[in-house]
Amino acid sequence: MTAVAPAREPDLLVLADLIHTCAPTGPVSALLVRGGRIVAAGTEADVRAAARHPRTLDLRGTTITPGLTDAHGHLTEWAFARREVDLAEARSPAEAVIAVARHAAGRDAGWVRGRGWNPHGWNGSRPHRSMLDAVLADRPVALQSHDMHALWVNSAALAAAAINRDTPDPPGGVIERDAGGEPTGVLFEWASQLVTQRIPAPSLDDAAAAVLAAQAELHSLGITGMHSLPGIHLLRPDPLTVLRTLYGRGELRLRILQHIALDQLDDAIEARTRSGDGAEWIRTGGVKMFLDGALGSRTAWMREPYQGSDSRGLQTMQTEDFRATVRRAADHGIASVVHAIGDAAVSLALDVLGDAALRVRDMPHRIEHVQCVPMDRIDAAAAAGIVASMQPSHLMTDWSAADRYWGARRARYTYAFESLRRAGTILAFGSDVPVEPVDPRRGLFAAIMRQDATGSPEGGWYAAERLTPYDALCGFTLGPARAAGMAAPAGALDAGAFADFVAWERDPLANVESILELRCVAAVVGGEIVHEA
Protein backbone atom coordinates (compact mmCIF):
# COMPACT_ATOMS: atom_id res chain seq x y z
CA MET A 1 0.00 0.00 0.00
CA THR A 2 1.44 3.36 -1.00
CA ALA A 3 1.31 6.17 1.55
CA VAL A 4 -0.41 9.33 0.38
CA ALA A 5 1.63 12.47 0.87
CA PRO A 6 -0.18 15.23 2.78
CA ALA A 7 -1.60 18.01 0.64
CA ARG A 8 0.77 20.90 0.27
CA GLU A 9 -0.57 24.19 1.58
CA PRO A 10 -1.02 26.61 -1.31
CA ASP A 11 1.20 29.64 -1.65
CA LEU A 12 -0.13 32.97 -0.44
CA LEU A 13 0.08 35.92 -2.81
CA VAL A 14 -0.07 39.24 -0.94
CA LEU A 15 -0.92 42.41 -2.84
CA ALA A 16 -0.77 46.00 -1.56
CA ASP A 17 -0.38 49.52 -2.89
CA LEU A 18 3.05 49.82 -1.28
CA ILE A 19 5.20 47.41 0.71
CA HIS A 20 8.12 48.81 2.69
CA THR A 21 10.37 45.76 2.90
CA CYS A 22 13.15 47.31 5.05
CA ALA A 23 15.42 45.26 2.77
CA PRO A 24 17.94 46.27 0.08
CA THR A 25 15.32 45.49 -2.59
CA GLY A 26 13.41 48.56 -1.46
CA PRO A 27 9.62 49.04 -1.77
CA VAL A 28 7.61 46.47 -3.72
CA SER A 29 3.92 45.78 -4.38
CA ALA A 30 3.65 42.01 -3.88
CA LEU A 31 4.89 39.21 -1.63
CA LEU A 32 4.81 35.46 -1.98
CA VAL A 33 4.48 33.40 1.22
CA ARG A 34 5.20 29.67 1.47
CA GLY A 35 5.40 27.67 4.68
CA GLY A 36 5.19 30.77 6.86
CA ARG A 37 8.10 32.54 5.13
CA ILE A 38 8.60 35.05 2.35
CA VAL A 39 9.85 33.37 -0.81
CA ALA A 40 9.64 36.33 -3.19
CA ALA A 41 9.09 40.09 -3.09
CA GLY A 42 8.62 42.29 -6.14
CA THR A 43 5.99 43.26 -8.68
CA GLU A 44 2.77 41.29 -8.92
CA ALA A 45 3.89 39.82 -12.24
CA ASP A 46 7.26 38.72 -10.89
CA VAL A 47 5.77 37.17 -7.78
CA ARG A 48 2.98 35.38 -9.68
CA ALA A 49 5.60 33.80 -11.89
CA ALA A 50 7.18 32.17 -8.83
CA ALA A 51 3.87 31.06 -7.29
CA ARG A 52 2.38 27.58 -7.18
CA HIS A 53 -1.43 27.81 -7.49
CA PRO A 54 -1.59 30.63 -4.94
CA ARG A 55 -4.49 31.96 -2.98
CA THR A 56 -4.57 35.75 -2.81
CA LEU A 57 -4.64 38.12 0.15
CA ASP A 58 -5.71 41.35 -1.50
CA LEU A 59 -4.63 44.28 0.67
CA ARG A 60 -4.61 46.86 -2.08
CA GLY A 61 -5.55 50.21 -0.65
CA THR A 62 -3.13 49.70 2.24
CA THR A 63 0.60 50.03 2.91
CA ILE A 64 2.47 47.05 4.32
CA THR A 65 5.50 47.10 6.61
CA PRO A 66 7.31 44.31 8.41
CA GLY A 67 5.62 43.40 11.67
CA LEU A 68 6.84 45.64 14.46
CA THR A 69 8.82 44.30 17.39
CA ASP A 70 8.65 46.00 20.77
CA ALA A 71 12.29 45.66 21.83
CA HIS A 72 11.67 46.50 25.49
CA GLY A 73 8.48 45.45 27.22
CA HIS A 74 7.49 43.64 30.38
CA LEU A 75 4.97 41.31 28.80
CA THR A 76 3.66 39.37 31.78
CA GLU A 77 3.69 42.42 34.06
CA TRP A 78 1.73 44.37 31.47
CA ALA A 79 -0.70 41.51 30.94
CA PHE A 80 -1.64 41.72 34.62
CA ALA A 81 -1.45 45.52 34.68
CA ARG A 82 -4.33 45.56 32.19
CA ARG A 83 -6.47 44.16 35.04
CA GLU A 84 -5.27 46.61 37.71
CA VAL A 85 -6.40 50.11 38.56
CA ASP A 86 -4.84 52.62 36.16
CA LEU A 87 -3.61 55.75 37.93
CA ALA A 88 -2.00 57.46 34.95
CA GLU A 89 -4.66 60.19 34.84
CA ALA A 90 -4.66 60.90 38.58
CA ARG A 91 -3.72 64.57 39.05
CA SER A 92 -3.17 64.31 42.79
CA PRO A 93 -2.74 61.68 45.50
CA ALA A 94 -6.39 62.28 46.45
CA GLU A 95 -7.57 61.39 42.93
CA ALA A 96 -5.40 58.28 42.98
CA VAL A 97 -6.90 57.20 46.32
CA ILE A 98 -10.45 57.67 45.01
CA ALA A 99 -9.64 55.52 41.97
CA VAL A 100 -8.15 52.81 44.18
CA ALA A 101 -11.20 52.75 46.45
CA ARG A 102 -13.58 52.47 43.49
CA HIS A 103 -11.51 49.68 41.98
CA ALA A 104 -11.44 47.72 45.23
CA ALA A 105 -15.19 48.03 45.86
CA GLY A 106 -17.04 44.87 44.96
CA ARG A 107 -13.87 42.86 44.35
CA ASP A 108 -12.75 39.90 46.39
CA ALA A 109 -10.85 40.56 49.58
CA GLY A 110 -7.10 40.46 49.28
CA TRP A 111 -4.37 42.59 47.75
CA VAL A 112 -5.33 45.66 45.75
CA ARG A 113 -2.97 46.34 42.85
CA GLY A 114 -2.50 49.41 40.72
CA ARG A 115 0.08 51.30 38.73
CA GLY A 116 0.84 54.47 36.81
CA TRP A 117 0.88 57.20 39.47
CA ASN A 118 3.16 60.07 38.57
CA PRO A 119 3.99 62.68 41.23
CA HIS A 120 5.41 65.19 38.73
CA GLY A 121 1.92 66.52 38.03
CA TRP A 122 0.93 66.69 41.67
CA ASN A 123 2.21 70.20 42.45
CA GLY A 124 4.61 69.00 45.10
CA SER A 125 2.17 66.63 46.85
CA ARG A 126 3.70 63.35 47.91
CA PRO A 127 2.02 59.96 48.37
CA HIS A 128 1.80 58.60 51.92
CA ARG A 129 0.53 55.37 53.46
CA SER A 130 -2.01 57.29 55.58
CA MET A 131 -3.88 58.41 52.44
CA LEU A 132 -4.49 54.78 51.48
CA ASP A 133 -5.16 53.75 55.07
CA ALA A 134 -8.09 56.20 55.14
CA VAL A 135 -9.99 54.18 52.51
CA LEU A 136 -8.45 50.70 52.75
CA ALA A 137 -7.06 50.05 56.20
CA ASP A 138 -7.84 46.32 56.30
CA ARG A 139 -6.53 45.25 52.87
CA PRO A 140 -2.92 45.54 51.64
CA VAL A 141 -2.50 47.97 48.74
CA ALA A 142 0.49 48.09 46.36
CA LEU A 143 0.62 50.76 43.67
CA GLN A 144 3.44 50.81 41.12
CA SER A 145 4.69 54.21 39.94
CA HIS A 146 4.59 55.12 36.25
CA ASP A 147 8.32 54.42 35.85
CA MET A 148 8.22 51.16 37.88
CA HIS A 149 10.95 52.44 40.19
CA ALA A 150 8.77 53.26 43.21
CA LEU A 151 5.99 51.46 45.05
CA TRP A 152 3.31 53.22 47.12
CA VAL A 153 1.77 51.01 49.79
CA ASN A 154 -0.50 51.27 52.80
CA SER A 155 0.16 50.24 56.38
CA ALA A 156 -1.35 46.78 55.85
CA ALA A 157 1.14 46.10 53.05
CA LEU A 158 4.04 47.32 55.20
CA ALA A 159 2.89 45.01 57.98
CA ALA A 160 2.60 42.07 55.56
CA ALA A 161 6.23 42.66 54.59
CA ALA A 162 7.32 43.25 58.21
CA ILE A 163 8.64 46.72 57.32
CA ASN A 164 8.92 49.13 60.24
CA ARG A 165 11.19 51.94 61.46
CA ASP A 166 13.93 49.43 62.29
CA THR A 167 13.98 47.74 58.88
CA PRO A 168 17.25 48.57 57.09
CA ASP A 169 17.34 49.69 53.48
CA PRO A 170 18.09 46.65 51.28
CA PRO A 171 21.03 46.79 48.85
CA GLY A 172 20.07 48.96 45.87
CA GLY A 173 16.88 50.18 47.49
CA VAL A 174 15.48 52.88 49.78
CA ILE A 175 12.63 52.81 52.28
CA GLU A 176 11.44 56.41 52.41
CA ARG A 177 10.99 57.65 55.99
CA ASP A 178 9.42 60.71 57.57
CA ALA A 179 11.15 63.08 59.99
CA GLY A 180 10.42 60.71 62.85
CA GLY A 181 12.00 57.75 61.07
CA GLU A 182 8.72 55.97 60.25
CA PRO A 183 8.22 54.50 56.75
CA THR A 184 6.06 56.79 54.61
CA GLY A 185 4.76 53.94 52.46
CA VAL A 186 6.94 54.74 49.44
CA LEU A 187 9.65 52.22 48.53
CA PHE A 188 12.29 52.91 45.89
CA GLU A 189 14.08 50.46 43.59
CA TRP A 190 14.84 47.06 45.16
CA ALA A 191 13.12 47.96 48.43
CA SER A 192 9.82 47.38 46.64
CA GLN A 193 10.58 43.65 46.47
CA LEU A 194 10.16 43.46 50.23
CA VAL A 195 6.44 43.94 49.52
CA THR A 196 5.95 42.42 46.06
CA GLN A 197 7.38 39.07 47.10
CA ARG A 198 4.56 38.83 49.65
CA ILE A 199 1.79 39.16 47.04
CA PRO A 200 0.20 35.77 46.24
CA ALA A 201 1.09 34.48 42.79
CA PRO A 202 -1.64 33.87 40.20
CA SER A 203 -2.17 30.40 38.79
CA LEU A 204 -0.44 29.36 35.58
CA ASP A 205 -3.77 29.21 33.74
CA ASP A 206 -4.67 32.71 34.94
CA ALA A 207 -1.29 34.06 33.81
CA ALA A 208 -1.62 32.38 30.41
CA ALA A 209 -5.09 33.86 29.92
CA ALA A 210 -3.78 37.33 30.78
CA VAL A 211 -0.92 37.07 28.28
CA LEU A 212 -3.23 35.71 25.58
CA ALA A 213 -5.51 38.74 25.95
CA ALA A 214 -2.50 41.05 25.84
CA GLN A 215 -1.27 39.34 22.67
CA ALA A 216 -4.52 40.25 20.89
CA GLU A 217 -4.00 43.92 21.76
CA LEU A 218 -0.43 43.81 20.46
CA HIS A 219 -1.59 42.37 17.14
CA SER A 220 -4.19 45.13 16.80
CA LEU A 221 -1.36 47.68 17.06
CA GLY A 222 0.86 46.00 14.46
CA ILE A 223 3.19 44.31 16.94
CA THR A 224 4.24 40.78 16.02
CA GLY A 225 7.19 40.34 18.37
CA MET A 226 8.49 41.46 21.75
CA HIS A 227 11.72 41.41 23.69
CA SER A 228 10.35 40.70 27.16
CA LEU A 229 12.38 41.79 30.16
CA PRO A 230 12.18 40.97 33.84
CA GLY A 231 11.52 44.02 35.98
CA ILE A 232 12.49 44.99 39.49
CA HIS A 233 9.55 43.03 40.85
CA LEU A 234 9.47 39.26 41.19
CA LEU A 235 7.10 37.57 38.77
CA ARG A 236 5.34 34.34 39.51
CA PRO A 237 4.74 32.09 37.68
CA ASP A 238 7.94 32.50 35.71
CA PRO A 239 7.27 34.31 32.38
CA LEU A 240 9.09 31.67 30.39
CA THR A 241 6.83 28.98 31.83
CA VAL A 242 3.78 31.02 30.82
CA LEU A 243 5.07 31.48 27.26
CA ARG A 244 5.92 27.82 26.88
CA THR A 245 2.43 26.93 28.08
CA LEU A 246 0.88 29.09 25.37
CA TYR A 247 3.26 27.67 22.78
CA GLY A 248 2.36 24.13 23.80
CA ARG A 249 -1.31 24.96 23.33
CA GLY A 250 -0.63 26.37 19.86
CA GLU A 251 -1.76 29.84 20.99
CA LEU A 252 1.49 31.83 20.93
CA ARG A 253 1.57 34.13 17.92
CA LEU A 254 4.35 36.49 18.98
CA ARG A 255 8.07 36.11 18.35
CA ILE A 256 9.48 36.39 21.86
CA LEU A 257 13.02 37.09 23.02
CA GLN A 258 12.85 36.39 26.76
CA HIS A 259 15.61 37.91 28.84
CA ILE A 260 16.87 36.36 32.08
CA ALA A 261 16.50 37.88 35.55
CA LEU A 262 19.76 38.31 37.43
CA ASP A 263 18.63 35.93 40.15
CA GLN A 264 18.11 33.28 37.44
CA LEU A 265 21.68 33.49 36.12
CA ASP A 266 23.02 30.61 38.22
CA ASP A 267 20.20 28.34 37.07
CA ALA A 268 20.77 29.35 33.44
CA ILE A 269 24.48 28.57 33.67
CA GLU A 270 23.82 25.25 35.33
CA ALA A 271 21.34 24.37 32.57
CA ARG A 272 23.92 25.42 29.94
CA THR A 273 21.51 28.01 28.58
CA ARG A 274 23.05 30.44 26.11
CA SER A 275 21.82 33.65 24.53
CA GLY A 276 20.19 32.78 21.22
CA ASP A 277 18.95 29.36 22.32
CA GLY A 278 15.46 28.46 21.16
CA ALA A 279 13.55 28.40 17.91
CA GLU A 280 11.18 30.57 15.87
CA TRP A 281 8.78 31.57 18.64
CA ILE A 282 10.71 31.71 21.92
CA ARG A 283 14.42 32.48 22.17
CA THR A 284 16.68 33.22 25.13
CA GLY A 285 18.09 36.72 25.45
CA GLY A 286 20.61 38.07 27.93
CA VAL A 287 20.79 38.56 31.66
CA LYS A 288 19.17 41.77 32.92
CA MET A 289 21.04 44.04 35.31
CA PHE A 290 20.25 47.47 36.75
CA LEU A 291 22.91 50.13 37.17
CA ASP A 292 20.63 52.95 38.29
CA GLY A 293 17.07 54.15 38.74
CA ALA A 294 15.01 56.56 36.65
CA LEU A 295 14.79 60.23 35.70
CA GLY A 296 11.30 60.69 37.15
CA SER A 297 12.25 59.55 40.64
CA ARG A 298 15.65 61.30 40.32
CA THR A 299 17.41 58.01 40.98
CA ALA A 300 19.14 57.87 37.59
CA TRP A 301 22.88 57.90 38.34
CA MET A 302 24.58 61.04 37.04
CA ARG A 303 28.18 62.22 36.68
CA GLU A 304 27.19 65.57 38.22
CA PRO A 305 24.38 66.48 40.64
CA TYR A 306 20.83 67.15 39.55
CA GLN A 307 19.94 70.80 38.97
CA GLY A 308 19.50 72.54 42.33
CA SER A 309 20.49 69.45 44.30
CA ASP A 310 23.49 67.70 45.78
CA SER A 311 22.17 64.31 44.69
CA ARG A 312 23.69 62.38 41.79
CA GLY A 313 21.04 59.66 41.89
CA LEU A 314 21.55 56.04 42.84
CA GLN A 315 24.03 53.44 41.64
CA THR A 316 22.06 50.23 42.19
CA MET A 317 24.83 47.72 41.37
CA GLN A 318 28.40 48.22 42.49
CA THR A 319 31.02 48.52 39.78
CA GLU A 320 33.03 45.41 40.58
CA ASP A 321 29.89 43.31 41.04
CA PHE A 322 28.69 44.50 37.64
CA ARG A 323 32.00 43.79 35.93
CA ALA A 324 32.25 40.34 37.51
CA THR A 325 28.67 39.44 36.54
CA VAL A 326 29.14 40.49 32.92
CA ARG A 327 32.35 38.43 32.78
CA ARG A 328 30.75 35.37 34.37
CA ALA A 329 27.75 35.51 32.02
CA ALA A 330 29.95 36.02 28.95
CA ASP A 331 32.13 33.06 29.92
CA HIS A 332 28.98 30.92 29.60
CA GLY A 333 27.71 32.45 26.36
CA ILE A 334 25.15 34.79 27.93
CA ALA A 335 24.93 38.41 26.79
CA SER A 336 24.28 41.29 29.19
CA VAL A 337 21.20 43.51 29.12
CA VAL A 338 21.91 46.57 31.24
CA HIS A 339 19.48 49.20 32.51
CA ALA A 340 21.35 52.53 32.39
CA ILE A 341 19.63 55.92 32.22
CA GLY A 342 21.93 58.53 33.77
CA ASP A 343 25.21 59.53 32.11
CA ALA A 344 27.31 57.91 34.86
CA ALA A 345 25.44 54.62 34.45
CA VAL A 346 25.66 54.76 30.65
CA SER A 347 29.40 55.45 30.84
CA LEU A 348 30.02 52.50 33.14
CA ALA A 349 27.94 50.22 30.92
CA LEU A 350 29.92 51.31 27.86
CA ASP A 351 33.22 50.75 29.66
CA VAL A 352 32.41 47.22 30.76
CA LEU A 353 30.34 45.98 27.81
CA GLY A 354 32.87 47.47 25.40
CA ASP A 355 35.61 45.10 26.55
CA ALA A 356 36.25 42.89 23.52
CA ALA A 357 37.18 39.98 25.78
CA LEU A 358 33.62 39.96 27.15
CA ARG A 359 31.72 39.76 23.86
CA VAL A 360 29.27 36.91 23.26
CA ARG A 361 29.22 35.14 19.93
CA ASP A 362 25.49 34.79 19.24
CA MET A 363 24.03 38.03 20.60
CA PRO A 364 25.30 41.57 21.20
CA HIS A 365 25.30 43.20 24.61
CA ARG A 366 22.73 45.94 24.96
CA ILE A 367 22.04 48.97 27.11
CA GLU A 368 18.42 49.57 27.99
CA HIS A 369 17.12 53.17 27.88
CA VAL A 370 20.46 54.96 27.18
CA GLN A 371 18.69 58.19 28.01
CA CYS A 372 21.51 60.57 28.88
CA VAL A 373 24.57 59.90 26.72
CA PRO A 374 27.70 61.92 27.49
CA MET A 375 28.78 63.75 24.34
CA ASP A 376 32.25 62.22 24.58
CA ARG A 377 30.76 58.69 24.49
CA ILE A 378 28.45 58.97 21.47
CA ASP A 379 30.70 56.79 19.29
CA ALA A 380 31.47 54.17 21.92
CA ALA A 381 28.43 51.91 21.53
CA ALA A 382 28.84 51.54 17.78
CA ALA A 383 32.56 50.86 18.08
CA ALA A 384 31.90 48.02 20.53
CA GLY A 385 28.82 46.63 18.78
CA ILE A 386 26.57 47.45 21.74
CA VAL A 387 22.85 47.85 21.04
CA ALA A 388 21.09 51.02 22.17
CA SER A 389 17.69 49.69 23.26
CA MET A 390 15.64 52.86 23.57
CA GLN A 391 12.02 53.81 24.16
CA PRO A 392 11.23 56.95 22.15
CA SER A 393 7.79 57.41 23.72
CA HIS A 394 9.48 58.21 27.05
CA LEU A 395 10.54 61.47 25.43
CA MET A 396 6.89 62.53 25.23
CA THR A 397 6.57 62.49 29.01
CA ASP A 398 10.17 63.15 30.06
CA TRP A 399 11.46 66.03 27.96
CA SER A 400 10.44 68.78 30.37
CA ALA A 401 11.72 66.80 33.37
CA ALA A 402 15.08 66.31 31.62
CA ASP A 403 15.34 70.08 31.07
CA ARG A 404 14.39 70.74 34.68
CA TYR A 405 16.55 68.13 36.41
CA TRP A 406 19.52 67.80 34.06
CA GLY A 407 19.76 71.20 32.37
CA ALA A 408 20.34 72.04 28.71
CA ARG A 409 23.93 70.80 28.48
CA ARG A 410 22.98 67.28 29.47
CA ALA A 411 19.50 67.31 27.92
CA ARG A 412 21.02 68.02 24.49
CA TYR A 413 22.26 64.43 24.32
CA THR A 414 19.25 62.85 25.98
CA TYR A 415 17.41 60.46 23.64
CA ALA A 416 20.18 61.16 21.12
CA PHE A 417 18.60 59.02 18.39
CA GLU A 418 20.19 60.60 15.33
CA SER A 419 23.65 61.06 16.86
CA LEU A 420 23.73 57.40 17.86
CA ARG A 421 22.38 56.23 14.49
CA ARG A 422 24.85 58.38 12.56
CA ALA A 423 27.69 56.89 14.63
CA GLY A 424 26.57 53.43 13.48
CA THR A 425 24.86 52.24 16.67
CA ILE A 426 22.16 49.58 16.39
CA LEU A 427 18.92 51.21 17.56
CA ALA A 428 16.23 48.87 18.89
CA PHE A 429 13.02 50.64 19.87
CA GLY A 430 10.36 49.59 22.35
CA SER A 431 7.76 51.01 24.70
CA ASP A 432 8.76 49.83 28.21
CA VAL A 433 5.13 48.80 28.69
CA PRO A 434 3.55 49.04 31.27
CA VAL A 435 5.64 52.11 32.11
CA GLU A 436 4.35 53.71 28.90
CA PRO A 437 1.49 52.62 26.62
CA VAL A 438 2.53 49.81 24.30
CA ASP A 439 1.24 51.67 21.22
CA PRO A 440 4.16 51.84 18.72
CA ARG A 441 2.65 54.84 16.96
CA ARG A 442 3.71 56.90 19.98
CA GLY A 443 7.28 55.67 19.61
CA LEU A 444 7.37 56.43 15.90
CA PHE A 445 5.91 59.89 16.47
CA ALA A 446 8.37 60.71 19.24
CA ALA A 447 11.40 59.49 17.29
CA ILE A 448 10.42 61.46 14.19
CA MET A 449 8.89 64.62 15.69
CA ARG A 450 10.50 64.78 19.20
CA GLN A 451 7.30 66.25 20.58
CA ASP A 452 4.58 65.21 22.98
CA ALA A 453 1.00 64.56 21.90
CA THR A 454 0.16 68.27 22.20
CA GLY A 455 2.87 69.23 19.70
CA SER A 456 5.21 70.63 22.36
CA PRO A 457 7.85 71.84 22.21
CA GLU A 458 7.34 73.63 18.91
CA GLY A 459 9.74 72.40 16.25
CA GLY A 460 10.79 69.41 18.33
CA TRP A 461 12.92 68.99 21.44
CA TYR A 462 16.55 69.29 20.28
CA ALA A 463 15.36 68.72 16.73
CA ALA A 464 18.83 67.76 15.50
CA GLU A 465 18.13 64.34 17.06
CA ARG A 466 14.99 63.69 14.96
CA LEU A 467 15.04 60.54 12.85
CA THR A 468 13.69 60.15 9.35
CA PRO A 469 10.45 58.15 9.20
CA TYR A 470 12.28 55.25 7.56
CA ASP A 471 15.00 55.14 10.23
CA ALA A 472 12.34 55.28 12.95
CA LEU A 473 10.56 52.32 11.34
CA CYS A 474 13.83 50.39 11.22
CA GLY A 475 14.10 50.94 14.97
CA PHE A 476 11.02 48.73 15.35
CA THR A 477 11.97 46.18 12.67
CA LEU A 478 15.61 45.69 11.67
CA GLY A 479 17.02 47.03 14.93
CA PRO A 480 15.26 44.51 17.21
CA ALA A 481 16.19 41.68 14.82
CA ARG A 482 19.87 42.58 15.01
CA ALA A 483 19.63 43.03 18.78
CA ALA A 484 18.25 39.51 19.02
CA GLY A 485 21.08 38.11 16.92
CA MET A 486 18.64 37.55 14.04
CA ALA A 487 19.58 39.92 11.23
CA ALA A 488 17.83 37.22 9.17
CA PRO A 489 15.16 35.88 9.02
CA ALA A 490 13.46 38.69 10.95
CA GLY A 491 12.91 42.42 10.62
CA ALA A 492 12.56 42.64 6.83
CA LEU A 493 10.30 41.30 4.08
CA ASP A 494 12.84 39.56 1.91
CA ALA A 495 13.30 36.02 0.61
CA GLY A 496 13.71 33.64 3.55
CA ALA A 497 12.27 35.99 6.17
CA PHE A 498 9.39 35.20 8.47
CA ALA A 499 6.08 36.20 6.91
CA ASP A 500 5.31 38.66 9.70
CA PHE A 501 3.82 41.87 8.34
CA VAL A 502 1.27 44.57 9.00
CA ALA A 503 -1.12 46.39 6.68
CA TRP A 504 -1.80 50.04 7.55
CA GLU A 505 -4.66 52.14 6.20
CA ARG A 506 -2.09 54.51 4.68
CA ASP A 507 1.66 54.90 4.40
CA PRO A 508 3.09 55.32 7.93
CA LEU A 509 6.17 57.03 6.48
CA ALA A 510 4.06 59.86 5.03
CA ASN A 511 2.06 62.49 6.94
CA VAL A 512 3.85 61.55 10.14
CA GLU A 513 2.23 64.44 12.01
CA SER A 514 -0.96 62.33 12.10
CA ILE A 515 0.69 58.97 12.74
CA LEU A 516 -0.94 58.75 16.19
CA GLU A 517 -4.27 58.18 14.42
CA LEU A 518 -2.94 55.61 11.95
CA ARG A 519 -4.99 52.41 11.94
CA CYS A 520 -3.68 48.84 11.64
CA VAL A 521 -5.93 47.10 9.11
CA ALA A 522 -4.44 43.62 9.38
CA ALA A 523 -1.57 41.77 11.04
CA VAL A 524 -0.05 38.53 9.76
CA VAL A 525 2.35 36.30 11.68
CA GLY A 526 3.98 33.32 10.01
CA GLY A 527 1.62 33.74 7.07
CA GLU A 528 -1.45 33.54 9.33
CA ILE A 529 -3.85 36.45 9.74
CA VAL A 530 -3.95 37.20 13.46
CA HIS A 531 -5.80 40.52 13.33
CA GLU A 532 -8.32 42.13 10.98
CA ALA A 533 -9.82 45.53 11.64
Question: Which pLDDT tens digit goes with each residue over 124-176?
Answer: 899 999 999 999 999 999 999 988 889 999 999 999 999 999 999 999 899 99
Residue 109 pLDDT level (bands cut at 50, 70, 90): confident
Residue 76 Ramachandran class (φ > 0 left, ψ -120 to 50 alpha, else beta): alpha
Sequence spans of domains, the chain: 7-67+491-533, 81-196
The whole-number pLDDT of residue 81 equals: 86
Percent of the chain past pLDDT 90, that is, above it, reads: 86
The model's pTM is 0.89
Instruction: Please provide the average confidence, as pLDDT, over all residues in the chain.
Output: 94
Query: Residue 128, SS3?
Result: coil
The whole-number pLDDT of residue 476 equals: 98
Q: Would you say 264 and 289 are in contact if contact means Cβ atoms under 8 Å apart?
A: no
Q: Topology of domain 81-196, per CATH?
A: Diaminopimelate Epimerase; Chain A, domain 1 (3.10.310)
The answer, yes or no, to whether residue 120 has pLDDT greater than 70, is yes
The whole-number pLDDT of residue 6 equals: 44
Question: Which pLDDT tens digit goes with each residue over 73-84?
Answer: 999 989 988 989
The whole-number pLDDT of residue 213 equals: 97
Q: Would you say 120 and 106 are in contact if contact means Cβ atoms under 8 Å apart?
A: no
The whole-number pLDDT of residue 233 equals: 57
Percent of the chain past pLDDT 70, that is, above it, reads: 98
Q: Topology of domain 7-67+491-533, per CATH?
A: Urease, subunit C; domain 1 (2.30.40)
The answer, yes or no, to whether residue 3 has pLDDT greater than 60, is no
Question: What is the mean predicted confidence (pLDDT) over 115-119?
Answer: 89
User: Distance (Å, rounded) from C-alpha 482 to C-alpha 477?
Assistant: 9
What DSSP letter does each residue of 445-500 carry, written as one string? HHHHH---TT-PSTT-TTGGGPPPHHHHHHHTTHHHHHHTT-TTTSSS-STTSB--
Query: Do the domains 7-67+491-533 and 81-196 sit in the same CATH topology, yes or no?
Result: no
Question: What is the mean predicted confidence (pLDDT) over 453-480?
Answer: 97
The answer, yes or no, to whether residue 192 has pLDDT greater than 70, is yes
Question: Which pLDDT tens digit goes with each residue over 481-490?
Answer: 999 999 777 8
The answer, yes or no, to whether residue 114 has pLDDT greater than 70, is yes
User: Distance (Å, rounded) from C-alpha 172 to C-alpha 16?
Assistant: 52
